[in-house]
Chain A
C-alpha cells in the first residue's frame, strides 16, 4: 500500500459522523412495520387453521348426520316389516280359522306340522341372516348367526329324534300342504322375526310314546342396533368443568380507530391498525340437557390488542394520544414528532353462555356451539413497545370513552377426544362477533370488532 492510500486510510480510520434523528425514527417505523408483517403472517396462519378446522368439523358433522339418518331409516324400515308380519300366534288362529280341519288333526299330523314349522323358522332365520349381513354390525351378527345355527341344529336334531320315534311314515294331508305352502310364501317375504314370537312353539299332545317335551327355541341373528345398547354411550358426561385458552386474530373494524387519526402532514396522527391479536383464558362448566344438547357457561379473561404508529408528540406519557383519541379530534393541532409505535390493548372479563349440539358423541366428539357473551370492560392500555413513553390506561366509567358492557355472538365447533373416563380434550376453532363497538357512540361511528381464534379445552367429567 502506497503513501497515498495510507494517508487516506489514516484520515478515515475511526472517524465518526452523527446521523440525524430521523434515521432512527425511520428505522423504528420500518421495524414496527416488519413486526406487523410477521404478526400478519401469524394471523393468516391462525385464520387458515380456524377455517380448515371449521371445514373439517362441517365435513365430519355432515358425515355423522348422514350415518345417523341412514341408521334411523333402516330401523324404521325394520319396524314396518315387523308390523306387516302377523305374529305366529295370530297366524295359528288365522290358520285354524281358515282350516278347521287342522283342529281335528291327528298326533302324527301335528308332529308333522311342528316339523314343518321348524323348517319354516329355519328359512326365516336364514332370510334374516342374509339381511343382517348387509347391515353395519356384520361381525357381531355373523357370530350371533353361528350361535343360532348351532343352537338350532341341536334343537332340531333332538326334536327330530324324538318325533321320528313316533312317526314311522305318513303323507301330508291336503290341508297340511296348503298350510305349509302358506308358510313358505310368508317366509319368503319375511326379513326379520321377532324373537319373542319364536320362543315357544305349540306343544302337541301326543297320546302314545315318550312324553318328552321339547321347548324349541330358535335364536335368529339380531341386528346390531337391537343388540348394542346405544344409551350406554350417553350415560356419562352429564356434568363437567373445563379450563380453556384461545388465541387468534382481532379485527377492530378499523373505522373505529380512524377517528383519532388525523391528516398525516402537519397535525398529530395515528395510523389505522388493520388487524391485531387476541387471546383469552378461563373456566367453563357444562351440563347435558338432552341426549345431544349441552349448555356451557363460565368466566373468561379477554385481551384484544392492536399495533399502530403515531407521530403525536408525547415525550413522557401517551396521555396526549389518549386525549386526542377521547376528544375525537380529527384535525388536532397537537405538535408532531417522529413516528413511533403504539400498542393498544383492551381487556375484558367475559361471561359466555353457549348451547351445543353433539353431532358425534363417542370417544371422538364433535359439537357445534353457539351463544352469546356478556363482556365487562376492564381497561384500555396504550403502550410504547420501545419503552420510551409511559403507558396510559383508561378504565370504564361515565367519563370513559369505552362502553362498560359489551355483548357478543359466539359460534364455534368443538372437536374432542376422550382421553380417559374422566378427561376429554378438545380443539375449538371459533368466531366471536361484537354486537356493538368498543367505544361509546360519541367517539365512534361504526365498526363492530370480531375475532377468529382457535381454542384448547381440557375437560374434567364429574358424572
Chain B
C-alpha cells in the first residue's frame, strides 16, 4: 500500500477521516479502506462462495460506504455501521441466488456437549472454506443467526421468508457444518 505513513498519521482522527471521505479526498478514502478492509474482508468471505466473490462484495460495499459517509450521524460506532453496510451489500449480492425453501424434519445437528471436535483445532481458512461450501440460503442464515446474533424473526424479515424457513435453513446449515468438520477432521487427522 503506497499511502505514506506521514499521511496516515496525519489523519488519525476518525472524524477527520469521515470528513475527508465525505469531501471526496482520495487520501482519506484510502486510509479508511486500509484501516477496515481486512476485518470487512473476513465478513464478506463468510457470506460469499469464493474469495473473488468476497472481493466483489468488499468493493461494492466500500463504494456504498464512501457515498453514504455524508449521512453518517455518529449514532453508532463507525465499525458497526460499516459492517452493517457490508452485510447488507452481501445480502443484496446473494439475493438473486437465494431460494430459501423450508426444509422440514431436519434434526438439530449442532455440536453436542460431549462432542470432541473443537473449532480451535481448525485453521481459520479451513473454517471459512467450510462455511463457503454451504448452500447460499444456509450460509446466509447461519451467518446472520450464529455470528451476527440476529433472531429468526429478524432474519425472516430481512430476507422476506418465514420464521420457520429461517429455522430449518439454520438447522440444515448446522447439520452440514458438522458433517464437513468430521470430514476435515478425518482427512487431516485432527482430534
Contact = CB atoms under 8 A, between A and B. Distances in A.
A and B associate: yes
Interface of A: 1-5, 7-12, 14-24, 26-28, 30-31, 34-35, 315, 341, 385-388
Nearest to A30: B63
Contacts of B33: 24, 27
A27 B59 contact: yes
A386 B26 contact: yes
B111 A34 contact: no
B145 A5 contact: yes
B8 to A, nearest CB: 12
Contact of B111 (A4, A14, A21, A22): A4
B27 A387 contact: yes
B interface, how many residues as a size bin?
35 or more
A19 B7 contact: no
Nearest to A22: B55
B66 interface: yes
B91 interface: no
Given A14-B39, A23-B55, 12 more contacts: A4-B174, A5-B147, A12-B42, A12-B127, A16-B38, A16-B39, A19-B54, A20-B55, A27-B62, A31-B63, A315-B2, A341-B26
Given A2-B110, A30-B63, A24 B30 contact: yes
Contacts of A17: 38, 41-42, 45, 54, 128
Contacts of A7: 111, 118-119
Given A1-B149, A385-B26, A26 B59 contact: yes
Main secondary structure of the interface of B (DSSP, over half): helix
The 3 A-B pairs with the shortest beta carbon distances in the complex, nearest first, are: A16-B38, A4-B110, A386-B26
Given A4-B111, A27-B63, A19 B145 contact: no
Contact of A19 (B2, B24, B41, B128): B41
A31 B39 CA distance: 21
18 contacts: A3-B113, A4-B146, A7-B119, A8-B119, A8-B147, A11-B124, A12-B147, A14-B39, A16-B39, A16-B42, A17-B42, A17-B128, A21-B1, A28-B30, A31-B24, A31-B26, A34-B67, A341-B26
Given A4-B110, A5-B146, A34-B67, A387 B62 contact: no
Given A4-B111, A11-B127, A22-B55, A31 B38 contact: no
B37 interface: yes
| Residue of A7, A8, A11, A17 with highest tally of chain B CB at under 10 A | A17
Contact of A15 (B27, B42, B55, B67): B42
B39 to A, nearest CB: 5
Contacts of A16: 38-39, 41-42
Interface in B169-184: 174
B3 A19 contact: no
Contacts of B168: none
Nearest to A21: B1
B58 interface: yes
Interface in B136-163: 145-147, 149
Interface string B1-22: 1110001000000000000000
